[in-house]
Amino acid sequence: MSRNLLLVVTGSVSAFKAAALASKLSQDGFEVRTVLSGGAKEFIGASTFEGLTGNRVFDSTFAPGEAMAHIDLARWADLTLVYPASANTLTKLAQGRADDLVGTLFLAHDFKRPYWVVPAMNPSMLAHPAVAEAVAKLRDWGVKVFDADAGRMACGEVGTGRLIEPETMRKAILAEFVARTRVAGTKPSRVLITAGGTSESLDPVRVLTNVSTGETGVRIANAAAGEGSEVTLLLADTSPFAGEVAPEVRVVRYRSFSDLDLRMRDELGHGNYNVLIHSAAVSDFHIDRIETETGGLVTGTTKIHSKEPLLLRLMPNPKILDRVREYAKNPNLRVISFKLATPAVRGGTSDLSGYDSDVIVHNAVSQIERGTDRHAGEIYERTPEGYAIRSRFKTKSELTAELVALARPTIDGQESLRDSAAELGGSPEVTQ
Ligand SMILES: Cc1cc2nc3c(=O)[nH]c(=O)nc-3n(C[C@H](O)[C@H](O)[C@H](O)COP(=O)(O)O)c2cc1C
């Protein structure tokens, strides 16, 4: 199912919150297109939304070459959201006026898909009979007009009229799409995602770990849950992204390699998962012995003395990925794994022999930028002839959207990779 969201922003001092929402929804894998009213442009720029959504912004009925944008956008949208909705726009919609793109789009709306309006204005404006009547009329026509929040307004007054917070709105949108996925008769996919880096303890306060933050796995988990999948996230207890996990995602924490291995065995053995997305950065070694130079052994249970040189003996860990099919209750588990290399192999070929994954995300450390959306790489898919490139991605959002498509629930509970990609509107162009 597509996830096309038409975000209509109108002239309110709270318009900046629409940028936060657009950013979150794009990260959740939504395709967000933005319309700015004349009033909105006084508060926020088109470039903000272009940058956050990767899509151009619409603000005129009469833009050259886009004369039919009002019809096309109305047909394209799975959900239209007016956020924030000004008093002017609310009353205009209720009058059916089409003197700008916002009004024209509303008249082109056929009420087959939801149209949501989220008011934001001074409490006296909201209580005015002109606005109250407009709200009642819109609701009567089948528009969902949200109740504004109460609290302190930008003007200093306290009352009802505040814009619903972006995170609350995001949850309502995710819930709407989950509900519609279920209504469409699909079975939820059960997805296990691993994220973050393992830590091996040297002593009670020191660890050997890696630079993985778990951000990619958290994004995929949130987006897959937003699609209606039942998601369990095995998350490193050091991950700084724990606070970002959506409430619909079940989180199980792990620390070391053996911890993660145990939890994966438990989850895959007892939960009937359809898909495993293994994005955790798993240590290739565990600590075998810690010796002092004089031959003494360090137990690992007491804090290491800081003055003496140490000899650390590390032993290779088995590959968890080699064990997951053995752990899994479901013999048809779809395994999606990550292969980090420096640099990622380009041009559609890569030595992926020895892998037993259905899909491999091939990326390079140098192509991942912490704290930004930049994350480039390639997705390979198993074919009868070996692994073939399926798509390339340039951002974390693109990667998330691709992986969510792969984990998407389908009519019979089996994932169809090609169908999912086609449904998404096609994968990025690939030359083999
Ligand atoms: C600083 C400032 C803040 C405003 N905030 C709001 C608001 O929160 N809600 C509202 O309905 N109007 C607000 N307005 C008035 C609208 O921006 C104005 O009515 C505008 O014409 C709305 O146009 P639009 O509906 O086409 O976006 C504000 C105006 C100013 C100058």
Q: DSSP letter at 111?
A: S
Query: Which are the contacts of 265, defined by CB distance < 8 A and separation ≥ 6?
Result: 323, 327
- Distance between CA atoms of residues 153 and 160, nearest Å: 8
Could you read off the pLDDT of 36-57 as tens digits, one per residue? 999 999 999 999 999 999 999 9
Query: Which residue among 12, 93, 131 is best mutated to probe the pocket of ligand 1, counting the most ligand atoms within 8 A of its Cβ?
Result: 12
Atom number of ligand 1 nearest to Cα 87: 11
Query: Which residue among 9, 35, 88, 163 is best mutated to probe the pocket of ligand 1, counting the most ligand atoms within 8 A of its Cβ?
Result: 88
- Distance between CA atoms of residues 220 and 240, nearest Å: 16
Residue 222 in tokens: 């949130």
Give me the architecture of the 4-179 domain, per CATH.
3-Layer(aba) Sandwich (3.40)
Domain positions in the chain are: 4-179, 186-285+316-423
Q: Which long-range contacts (CB under 8 A, 24 or more apart) does 359-366 make?
A: 359/334, 359/335, 359/390, 359/406, 359/417, 360/336, 360/387, 361/279, 361/336, 361/337, 361/399, 361/403, 362/338, 363/338, 363/339, 364/340, 365/340, 366/342
This prediction's pTM: 0.57
**In angstroms, what CA-CA distances link 314 with 107, 286, 289, 303, 363?**
68, 6, 7, 19, 26
Residue carrying the six token digits 């799975």: 78
User: Helix (H, G, I), strand (E, B), or coil: what is residue 389?
Assistant: strand
Least confident among 61-70, 153-162, 333-342: 61-70
- Distance between CA atoms of residues 184 and 178, nearest Å: 10
Cα 173 to ligand 1 centre (Å): 25
- Distance between CA atoms of residues 63 and 100, nearest Å: 11
Cα 88 to ligand 1 centre (Å): 7
Fold of the CATH domain 186-285+316-423: Rossmann fold (3.40.50)
- Distance between CA atoms of residues 296 and 316, nearest Å: 23
* Ordered alpha helix ranges (H), 82-128: 87-95, 101-107, 123-127
**pLDDT average, residue stretch 27-38:** 92
> Catalytic residues, which ones?
155
- Residue 80 burial (CB count, 10 A): 25
Query: Which residue among 86, 101, 162 is best mutated to probe the pocket of ligand 1, counting the most ligand atoms within 8 A of its Cβ?
Result: 86
Could you read off the pLDDT of 274-329 as tens digits, one per residue? 999 999 999 999 999 888 887 777 777 778 877 888 888 999 999 999 999 999 99
Q: State the pLDDT confidence band at 63, using cuts at 50, 70 and 90.
A: confident
Protein residues whose CB sits closer than 6 Å to any atom of ligand 1: 10-14, 37-40, 86-89, 120-121, 125
- Distance between CA atoms of residues 425 and 326, nearest Å: 35
Q: How many residues does the chain have?
A: 432
Residue 27 in tokens: 């990260």
Atom number of ligand 1 nearest to Cα 125: 11
Cα 69 to ligand 1 centre (Å): 25
CA angle 288, 291, 293 (to 5 degrees): 150
Cβ distance 393 to 399 under 8 Å? yes
Least confident among 135-139, 159-163, 343-347: 343-347
